Amino acid sequence: MRTLSVLLQKEFRQLSRNKFVPKVIVLFPIMVMLVIPWVTTMDVRNVGVTVVDDNRSTLSRRLVDNIDASEYLSVIAVCDDYAAALALLEAGETDAILEIPDDCESSLLEGRLKKMNISANGVNAMKGSLGSRYLMGAIAQTLAEVQAEKGLPASVEPTVVRNFYNPTLEYRNYMVPALMIMLLVMICGFLPALNLVGEKETGTIEQINVTPVGRFTFTLAKLIPFWLVGLVVLSIAMLLARGVYALSPAGSVAGIYAAALLFVLTMSGLGVAIANKSDTMQQAMFVMFFIVIIFILMSGLLTPIDSMPAWAQKITLFLPPRYFIEIMRSIYLKGATFGDLWHDFAALGVFAVVFDLIAVAAYKKRS
């Protein structure tokens, strides 16, 4: 115990004297939390529409006006032929083309509406499909108005949709918990790895290796500081989420911290294990980067696990962030309780123990 306490004193002194790392620990979460949520908005705005109006009728003009008035859409140009519109799309000036057929108005009045065509730029699939959906909505609304005015039969949508836990479908609410996890992955994974390889590169670890200090004690002394660092990072992020985005956990804060403790132990254990097996910072960094990128892309942080093919879904079972993201989103947005999530907590616990044991085992005092 005494050994652990002197080693911890040493780690904290070194951390506090470092000119760079404490700044990163405070500023990085602030930067990420203030900037990224604005970047990750999925509600597509400013979809530029070019209309090829072959009809030139009251209806087609009304369509153009209504589209332009829509919050998300703006009419860039009205062209006479498709080729001109396509040129605009290729130049990136417009995102979608709406073709109104020449007998559009008359076909509506006759009750057998001729179809209009939307051609969207599919390079950005998200913008393409969402943009066309907005466009379709604007068209449907205009048609319904006209139908009502002309006394033509219209119908109510046969289904209504209610959204629980995030009624306004705010994409930010979905991303903020994920960002907290990314912060913990990056800070609590990379920093311990860099710290330990740093000791190898400067040779200070050799002086430790000739002492009788235990492998377990030494590893613990490397893990515990980042435990606290992780809690600081998480707290900064949660305060910002509350202050800037008015997002507070619907469930218990204690549950979030408990899960974070397990998760940070897992990540820093991984970092220490990789550092133990690396000789240079470059090496540790790249191996770490490789693993982190798989963690971030595959664990459901940014894209749903359900959308993956079966083989990829099986891999996700071995990724610790998968369980943490489940816990974070459920507690933050749905107010889930420990009883709802105990199996995720159990999985994280197992990962923490296994990764930390690997970290201890990877530390060789003797080559």
Within 264-323, which residues bind another protein (CB under 8 A)?
A: 278, 280-283, 285-287, 289-290, 293-294, 297-298, 302-304, 306-309, 312
Residue 101 is a binding residue for another protein (CB under 8 A): no
Residue 207 is a binding residue for another protein (CB under 8 A): yes
Residue 13 is a binding residue for another protein (CB under 8 A): yes
SS (H, E, C) 313-337: HHHHCCCHHHHHHHHHHHHHHHCCC
Task: Tell me if 355 sits within 8 A of 269, measured CB to CB.
Answer: yes
Beta bridge partners of 288: none
Q: At what angle do helices 2-17 and 215-245 cross, to 10 degrees?
A: 50
Residue list 222-261, contact with another protein (CB under 8 A)? none
Residue 347 is a binding residue for another protein (CB under 8 A): no
Choice between 334 and 353, CB closer to another protein: 334
Question: In this chain, which stretch among 77-85, 123-131, 259-267, 347-355 interacts with another protein, using CB under 8 A?
Answer: 123-131
> How far is residue 4's CA from residue 359's CA, in Å, rounded to a whole number?
16
| The two structure tokens encoding residue 138 | 């604007």
Cβ-Cβ contacts under 8 Å for 237 (sequence gap 6 or more): 29, 32, 33, 179, 180, 183
The nearest distance, CB 126 to another protein, in angstroms, is 6
Residue 88 is a binding residue for another protein (CB under 8 A): no
Choice between 78 and 285, CB closer to another protein: 285
Cβ-Cβ contacts under 8 Å for 199 (sequence gap 6 or more): 205, 208
Residue 203 is a binding residue for another protein (CB under 8 A): yes
Question: In this chain, which stretch among 86-94, 225-233, 238-246, 355-363 interacts with another protein, using CB under 8 A?
Answer: 86-94
> How far is residue 80's CA from residue 149's CA, in Å, rounded to a whole number?
28
Task: Tell me if 233 sits within 8 A of 183, measured CB to CB.
Answer: yes
Residue list 44-73, contact with another protein (CB under 8 A)? 44-46
| The two structure tokens encoding residue 40 | 């990750």
The nearest distance, CB 352 to another protein, in angstroms, is 22
Residue list 167-196, contact with another protein (CB under 8 A)? 167, 169-171, 173-174, 186, 190, 194
Please provide the DSSP assignment of 237-283 as one string.
HHHHHHHHH----SS-HHHHHHHHHHHHHHHHHHHHHHHHT-SSHHH
Question: In this chain, which stretch among 53-61, 150-158, 234-242, 352-360 interacts with another protein, using CB under 8 A?
Answer: 150-158
Question: In this chain, which stretch among 21-29, 49-57, 345-353, 354-362 interacts with another protein, using CB under 8 A?
Answer: 21-29
Among 57, 66, 74, 166, binds another protein (CB under 8 A): 166
Residues contacting another protein: total by CB under 8 A: 126
**Which residue matches tokens 């590893």?**
219
Residue 157 is a binding residue for another protein (CB under 8 A): yes
Residue 133 is a binding residue for another protein (CB under 8 A): yes
The nearest distance, CB 260 to another protein, in angstroms, is 18
Residue 326 is a binding residue for another protein (CB under 8 A): yes
| Residue 50 host element (H or E) | strand 47-53
Residue 117 is a binding residue for another protein (CB under 8 A): yes
